[in-house]
């Protein structure tokens, strides 16, 4: 494999992740007509960064930590922008962001109890991925149609709350030795 292709397969997934930070920075200042495009590009970058790293076998701890941070920063900036512009109410923001608030609480607890090593032990869950997908769909609808559809708000909020509860039930903030007591050393499915 050539040096250029190795560099490309290592850089492309992380570049797509970093793109969401840039999109978050410009979202509040672009004209409203451009915001749906920004949401589509952000959602595509979120879908493709992990897919490319798996396809190229270039997954890294750095990318695994950076990807969810980029998601939360982007979604947080969009939500706060819509709140400030009064397109979204504070209760709706909290409902939609419930999973992200739970993750922030979990990260703080994990950092206090274990230290920075805990961040590497926070694998994504299917429910969390579903919450992110619904958040993007909800936010797209709000910026495109400039309305807050109650059914989509209810579904997005319910999945976000469920993902937040699932996340807080995950024992990732327990000390490694306490986690070791829960699984037998021979159990190959302990980490699944």
45 assigned to some structural domain: yes
The answer to whether 18 and 36 have CB atoms below 8 angstroms apart is no
For residue 24, tell me if it sits in a domain. Answer: yes
190 lies in some domain: no
How far is 116 from 76, CA to CA, in rounded Å?
Answer: 23
pLDDT at 189: 30
In a domain, 160, yes or no: yes
- 106: in domain: yes
Average pLDDT over residues 44-58: 76
Res 114 pLDDT > 80: no
pLDDT of residue 167: 83
What CATH number does residue 165 fall under?
Answer: 1.20.120
- Residue 192 falls within a domain, yes or no? no
Higher-scoring residue by pLDDT: 36, 177? 36
**Domain count for the chain:** 1
In a domain, 186, yes or no: no
Confidence of residue 1 (pLDDT cuts 50, 70, 90): low
In a domain, 99, yes or no: yes
Range of the domain at 55: 3-175
- Annotate the chain with DSSP letters as a single string: --HHHHHHHHHHHHHHHHHHHHHHHHGGGS-GGGHHHHHHHHHHHHHHHHHHHHHTT---HHHHHHHHHHHHHHHHHHHHHHHHTTSS-HHHHHHHTHHHHHHHHHHHHHHHHT-GGGGGG----HHHHHHHHHHHHHHHHHHHHSS--HHHHHHHHHHHHHHHHHHHHSGGGS-HHHHHTTS-TT-TTTT-
Give the model's pLDDT for residue 56: 67
Q: Is the pLDDT of residue 182 over 50?
A: no
When pLDDT is averaged across residues 11-25 and rounded to a whole number, the result is: 88
Q: What is the pLDDT of residues 54-104, one digit of tens each?
A: 776 666 666 667 788 888 999 999 999 999 999 999 999 999 999 999 888
């Amino acid at each position: 494999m050539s040096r250029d292709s190795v560099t490309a397969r290592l850089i492309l997934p992380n570049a797509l992740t970093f793109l969401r930070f840039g999109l978050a920075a410009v979202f509040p200042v672009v004209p409203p007509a451009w915001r749906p495009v920004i949401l589509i590009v952000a959602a595509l970058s979120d879908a493709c960064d992990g897919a490319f790293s798996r396809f190229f076998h270039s997954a890294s701890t750095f990318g695994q930590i950076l990807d969810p941070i980029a998601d939360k920063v982007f979604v947080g900036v969009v939500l706060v922008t819509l709140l400030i512009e009064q397109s979204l109410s504070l209760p709706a923001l909290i409902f939609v962001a419930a999973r992200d608030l739970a993750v922030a609480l979990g990260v703080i607890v994990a950092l206090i109890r274990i230290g920075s090593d805990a961040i590497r032990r926070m694998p994504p869950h299917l429910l969390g991925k579903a919450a992110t997908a619904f958040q993007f769909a909800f936010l797209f609808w709000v910026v495109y149609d400039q309305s807050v559809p109650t059914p989509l708000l209810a579904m997005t909020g319910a999945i976000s709350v469920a993902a937040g509860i699932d996340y807080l039930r995950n024992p990732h903030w327990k000390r490694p030795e306490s986690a070791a007591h829960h699984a037998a050393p021979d159990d190959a499915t302990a980490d699944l």
